Amino acid sequence: MSQQVEEPARHYVGGEWTGGASEATFESTNPATGETLGAFRRGTEADVDRALDAAAGAFADWRALSYVDRAEYLWDIYHELRDRHDELGEVVTKECGKELSEGKADVTEAWHMVEWAAGNARHPHGDVVPSEIPGKDAAMRRKPRGVVGCITPWNFPVAIPFWHMAVTLVEGNTVVWKPAEQTPWCGQIIAEMFADAGIPEGVFNMVQGYGDAGAAIVDDDRVDTVLFTGSAEVGHGIADTVGGEPGKLAACEMGGKNGIVVTGEADLDTAVHSAVMSSFKTTGQRCVSAERLIVHEDVYDEFKARFVEIAEEVAVGDPLSTDTFMGPLVDDEQIEKVRKYNELAREEGEVLVDRTDLPPEEIPAGHEAGHWVGPFVYEADPEADLRVTREEVFGPHVALLRYSGDVERAIEIHDDTDYGLAGAIISEDYRQLHRFRDDAEVGLAYGNLPCIGAEVQLPFGGVKKSGNGYPSAREVIEAVTERTAWTLNNSREIQMAQGLSADVTTRE
Active site residues: 253, 287
Query: 78 or 394: whose CB is closer to ligand UN1?
Result: 394
Return the residues of window 243-302 that contact ligand UN1 according to CB under 6 A.
286-288
Region of 3-11, 52-60, 130-138, 449-457 interacting with ligand UN1 (CB under 6 A): 449-457
Query: 254 or 352: whose CB is closer to ligand UN1?
Result: 254
Give 3-state DSSP helix, strand, coil % of the chain, rounded to 5. Answer: 40, 20, 40
Region of 22-30, 60-68, 202-210, 452-460 interacting with ligand UN1 (CB under 6 A): 452-460
Q: Are 419 and 256 in contact (CB under 8 A)?
A: yes
Distance CA 463, CA 242 (A): 19
Query: 287 or 311: whose CB is closer to ligand UN1?
Result: 287
Query: 12 or 460: whose CB is closer to ligand UN1?
Result: 460
Parallel/antiparallel/unpaired status of strands 463-464 and 419-420:
antiparallel
Q: How many residues bind ligand UN1 (CB under 6 A)?
A: 9
Closest distance of CB 255 from ligand UN1, Å: 8
- Tell whether residue 447 is a contact of ligand UN1 (CB under 6 A): no
Sheet with 225-229: strands ordered across: 16-18, 11-13, 204-206, 174-178, 147-151, 225-229, 249-253
Closest distance of CB 460 from ligand UN1, Å: 7
Strand partners, 402: 295
Three-class HEC string of 347-383: HHCEEEEECCCCCHHHCCCCCCCCCCCCCEEEEECCC
Distance CA 27, CA 265 (A): 51
* Cα dihedral sign, 26-30-33-38: negative
Query: 172 or 256: whose CB is closer to ligand UN1?
Result: 256
- Tell whether residue 109 is a contact of ligand UN1 (CB under 6 A): yes
Run of H or E including 420: strand 419-420
Task: List C-alpha distances in Å: 390 to 211, 280, 311, 368, 451.
Answer: 26, 18, 21, 32, 17
- Tell whether residue 98 is a contact of ligand UN1 (CB under 6 A): no
DSSP 436-456: HHHHS--SEEEESS-S----T
Region of 231-239, 261-269, 349-357, 450-458 interacting with ligand UN1 (CB under 6 A): 450-458
Strand partners, 250: 226
- Tell whether residue 156 is a contact of ligand UN1 (CB under 6 A): yes
Phi-psi region of 248 (alpha: psi -120 to 50; beta: other; left: phi over 0): beta
Pick the closest to residue 77 from 220, 196, 167, 186 (CA basis). 196
Query: 103 or 364: whose CB is closer to ligand UN1?
Result: 103
Return the residues of window 293-352 that contact ligand UN1 according to CB under 6 A.
none
Closest distance of CB 94 from ligand UN1, Å: 19
Query: 270 or 432: whose CB is closer to ligand UN1?
Result: 270
Residues contacting 438, CB < 8 A, separation 6+? none
Closest distance of CB 105 from ligand UN1, Å: 8
Closest distance of CB 259 from ligand UN1, Å: 15
Closest distance of CB 303 from ligand UN1, Å: 23
Closest distance of CB 163 from ligand UN1, Å: 8
Distance CA 323, CA 139 (A): 55
- Tell whether residue 452 is a contact of ligand UN1 (CB under 6 A): yes
Among 30, 152, 155, 174, binds ligand UN1 (CB under 6 A): 155
Closest distance of CB 285 from ligand UN1, Å: 8
Query: 94 or 286: whose CB is closer to ligand UN1?
Result: 286
In terms of Cβ atoms closer than 10 Å to its own Cβ (0-12, 13-18, 19+), residue 320 is middle
**Binding region for ligand UN1 (CB under 6 A):** 109, 155-156, 286-288, 452-454
